[in-house]
Structures are given as structure tokens and as C-alpha cells.
Amino acid sequence: MIDADIVIIGAGPAGSIAAKHAALRGAKVILIDKKSEIGTPKRCAEGVYDPGLRLLGIEPNPRWIAQTIYGGVLHSPDGNSIQFDEELLPVCGYVLERKVFDKYMAMDAARAGAEIMIKTFVNDLKREDNGFILDCDSFGEKFQIKAKIVIGADGPESTIGIKAGLNKHNSNKYMLSCAQYEMCNVELPRDDLIHIFLADENAEGGYAWIFTKGNGVANVGLGISSNIKDQDALECLDNFVKSCPYTKNAQPVELNVGPDSLEGLKDNIYGDNIMLVGDAAGQIDPIEGGGILLGMYGGMVAGNVAASAIKQGDYSADKLKEYYERFNQLTLNLVPKLTVVRDVVQSLNGDEFSNLIDAASQIDLTNASTKDYLKVLFKISPRTSLKFTKLIKVFI
């Protein structure tokens, strides 16, 4: 039996930063990951924005930055597009090398005092003596860990929340089936802009993307609604690669597949002796599925709250509720509001996306006023405009 104050299951960015902050505040922390190499396989397009990293106290490091990004291009199904670049956007972003970034975050946790266990599986956990007993195995050895607090950072297919009684199951309603190649010979006009393809015929119920990593290398992927049973995400991706002019000469060097949830924040992300962070908690942008920074916000707050709970000897849900409240405060309670935007976006069909981008492309976005944006709504159909009025009630 190994004793620990806090056990964190999953050494992605959310889990590692939780381990770091808990360890910095004196807790005995064990960080567990089932993989033999932290950071592999990558499960996202690897994009973050600069102010988000700095809010976490992380200085951008060229060791794990593949490309600095100054904006993006939205493509409509009819071939029209609209570009947002440094003239419009006050901040930059980065496409990461997740295999390097995730290890960097885990090493930060280790430097803070956390113990890391790789290739370690948590087969079960059960409540005992105001804590949890975890049944584990690693490299053929079976053992148990006794923890006062468990933090589940085990991704979108999280089982920790289910085993701990927080959530009964993972919802498939807003799940995307995703496939992504890392490719070379991608021919983009600019290496510092990402590309999003809305309502593409190959990405039904989702969208396609190209996240450039510079020098003709890019993450090229798409997500389709998991409710579409007769389509395979990889087959759809192959069709997209063949049809997209930027990838006609591209070659894959890596393939990643997996789910991505647009559900948003889960109803129950904390309880007695337990918290969920990152994808396991639904700390994901429900519009496009990105979750690196939101998950790290959750991890940072959870690590701090867990360490405080250890010092006070109070691991109850009443104490750990502070995590939920502080996360919402840090994110301005935006995640629940963004689910309304998600529903509006998902209600738009290909023609509506095309009409919207066509109307927006006809105004000068660098000097656009509220009146100009209203003109965009007037140029599209009344039915489409009515959908956007739902957002006014949420954000104004």
C-alpha cells in the first residue's frame, strides 16, 4: 500500500498542471499515466493562444512551439472565405508540438515535487476511510494506492468520474468522431494562418481544419457527428485531403483518431474526495472542441484547491465546491454560454454558412461598427437571422 495525499490520473496538460500546483503547496502528489510515453499519441490540432498561456504563468518556449499563428481563414461550402489576421486580432497564438509540450508540463510537475508513474493502470477505485483505495498495476506489478483526494484527468472517455459516482455515463449526443493526419507538402498561402472549413461535405455534423506547423507541415483533420453511423472519419478525411487544393500534393507522416466532445462542462465535476479536470470534466470549448487551455485552467484551480483541502483536513464536497466556483470565475462563466453558440452553429446548414461568410466578406472588418454587423444579419435570410437573436439574450 502506497500512501498519498492526492492522486491524479492522466498526465495530459490538465493533469500535469494540477500535480504541479498541488505539489508546490506541499501536498504529496502522485501523477499516473497509462501510456509509456507522455504526450503520445496527440489527440488534437495543438492550437493555443498566447494570453491563455500567460494566465497560467507559462512563458512560451520555442522548444514546444511549432508555429506562431496570427489569425485564421474561415471557408464556406461554396468556396468563399473570410480572413482574420493580425490587422483584426490583437493577440497571437501557437501550434504546439504536443509530444514535447506534454512532457514539459509533466517535468514541471516532477520538479515541483510530484511523483510520476508511467505505464500504470488504475483498474478500480473504491471509497475507504474518507478517501479512495486505487487498485493499480504497472509493468506486471499489482499494488494499491491510498489517496485522500483523487483528480480524474483521464480524457473524454473518462471512467474515473463514472467509477467515483459523479457521472453515470459519457454522452454521445455532442461527440465528434475525429481523424487527423500530420502531413508534409501542404501548400498554404501563409504559414501563420490556420484554416477552418465549415459545413464541408466531408465533415457532416462537424468541420474540417488545417493547423499549420510551418515549412509545409500541418495537422489536417476533421470531425463528423458520431451519430452518423454510415460514415467513417478516416475515410471522410481521405476524401477531404483529395478535394482540398492545399493538400493535393501532401503526404501523411502520422495518423491520429479518437473522439472529441462538444458537450461542454459536465454537471458533476466534484464530490467528496474527487474532482475531474480537462476533457474528463468537459472543460472544452463546445463550439470547436478545443480544450488545452480550458483544461489547464481547471487543472491549476483543482491543484490549488486540493492542496488547500489537504492542509485543512477537509476533503468534502462542500470544500471542493470551491474548485467549481473558482473555475467558473476564472473563465468568466463562459463555457455554459458557449453551448448556446454551439447550438446555433450546429443549426446552420451549408447554404446558411455560405450566405453568412459571403455577407461578412463584403464589409471592412478592420473598421466595422455595430451597424456593419447588423447589415450582415439583414443580408442573410430572416430565418438565419432569427437564430442569431438567441445569442443576444445570453451575451447582452
Given a cut of 70, is residue 202 above it in pLDDT? yes
Q: Name residue 81's beta-bridge partners.
A: 75
Nearest CA-CA partner of 301 in 330, 272, 273: 330
User: How wide is the angle at C-alpha 108 spanned by C-alphas 90 and 55, nearest 5°?
Assistant: 25
User: pTM of the prediction?
Assistant: 0.93
Coil/strand/helix, residue 376: helix
Q: How large a percentage of the chain has pLDDT more than 70? A: 96
DSSP state of 288: T
Mean pLDDT of 165-191: 88
pLDDT at position 226 is 80
CATH number of 2-36+99-170+263-330: 3.50.50.60
At the top level of CATH, the class of 175-260 is alpha beta
Mean pLDDT of 170-175: 75
- Spatial CB neighbours of 385, under 8 Å, sequence gap ≥ 6: 377, 378
> Per residue in 327-363, is it b (16+ CB within 10 Å) or e — as a string?
beeebeeebeebbbbbbbbeebeeebbbbbbbbbeeb
The whole-number pLDDT of residue 396 equals 64
Residues facing 220 on adjacent strands: 181, 210
**The three grid cell numbers given for residue 171, joined into one nine-digit string:** 454522452
| Least confidently predicted of 60-74, 184-198, 231-245, 350-364 | 350-364
Spatial separation of the C-alpha atoms in residues 173 and 162, rounded to whole Å: 17
Quote the CA–CA distance of 284 and 342 in Å, as a whole number. Answer: 12
Mean of the pLDDT values across residues 21-27?
A: 98
pLDDT tens figures, 35-60: 999 999 887 899 999 999 999 999 99
Q: Are strands 175-184 and 29-32 parallel, antiparallel or unpaired?
A: unpaired
Quickly count: other Cβ atoms within 10 Å of residue 172's Cβ. 13
Mean pLDDT of the chain: 92
Distance of alpha carbon 236 from its chain centroid, rounded? 22
Strands (DSSP E) contained in the chain are: 2-9, 29-32, 47-49, 65-69, 71-75, 81-84, 93-96, 115-117, 120-127, 132-138, 141-152, 175-184, 193-198, 207-214, 217-225, 251-261, 270-271, 274-276
- Domain regions of the chain by residue span: 2-36+99-170+263-330, 175-260, 337-395
Q: Which of the four pLDDT bands, split at 50, 70 and 90, describes residue 231?
A: confident
